[in-house]
Amino acid sequence: MNLQRIALLLAVLAVVAACINDPVFPGDQVLGTFRFEATVDRQRTTCDLKGPDFASLSDAGTFQFDGTFSRNADQPQGWLTVQGFARDAGYSGARVVSVHRASTRPPSCGPSCEGAEVEEALDVLLLSNSQDTLIGRRCSGLVDGGVPDGGGQPPGPTPTGYDVERACGTLTDDFIPGKTNCTCTSPCRAVYTVEGTRVN
């Protein structure tokens, strides 16, 4: 390969890298990207956590994922983007709810199973920097599911970006068994508490 082709290839790779490093999110207002830690709530989970479907959980019953919140400014319509896929989300004040249903093939259902689905709901409360300070920068500091009184400003746009630092709530996965060639026959639910810290 000659130097000209190498230079062209490097230029193309640079453009591709730029596209990867600068993703475009739906809507006209990006609130931020969060790194979530989900911890299974064993009391509310009916799925078999010892089965192969949950092999990716840590010994402490946790897993992590990143998600980006975006919306149309001053509108309830919005999105949650996870691994490049933008799913619908509804915004009401500081609360965000995103429900998405998709096909799945859990190991417990067998390799030939068809028709199995999962309906996933993320329900979180977004906290501004001042609210995050009030709760000690941890979701466990919330009082009865809300921010304690103390003068903290709610999340919102500022001249330097959107003021939001933490997301606290739940993630619920409802597994719906398939109808063809499936060894799984009963629905089950997995419930997690989630805490998201803004990373971008």
Q: What is the pLDDT of residues 65-112, one digit of tens each?
A: 999 999 999 899 999 999 999 999 999 999 999 999 999 989 999 999
Structural domain count of the chain:
1
Give the predicted TM-score (pTM) of the model: 0.86
Q: What angle do CA 67, 52, 114 make, to 5 degrees?
A: 80
- What pLDDT is stored for residue 28 in this prediction? 95
Is 12 a domain residue? no
Is 20 a domain residue? no
- What pLDDT is stored for residue 20 in this prediction? 52
What is the spatial distance between Cα 100 and Cα 178, in angstroms, rounded to a whole number?
A: 17
Is 13 a domain residue? no
**Domain of 150?**
25-198
Query: What confidence category does residue 144 fall into, taking pLDDT thresholds of 50, 70 and 90?
Result: confident
Is 186 a domain residue? yes
Is 7 a domain residue? no
Is 104 a domain residue? yes
**HEC readout, the chain:** CCHHHHHHHHHHHHHHHHHHHCCCCCCCEEEEEEEEEEEECCCCCCCCCCCHHHCCCCCCCEEEEEEEEEECCCCCEEEEEECCEEEEEEEECCEEEEEEEEECCCHHHCCCCECCEEEEEEEEEEECHHHHHHCCCCHHHCECCECCCCCCCCCEEECCEEECCEEEEEEEEEEECCCECCCCCCCEEEEEEEEEEECC
Is 92 a domain residue? yes
**Mean pLDDT score of the chain:** 89
User: Does residue 151 or residue 119 have the better pLDDT?
Assistant: 119
Is 156 a domain residue? yes
Across 20-24, 111-115, 156-160, least confident range: 20-24
Evaluate if residue 40 carries a pLDDT over 60: yes
Across 12-16, 32-36, 60-64, least confident range: 12-16
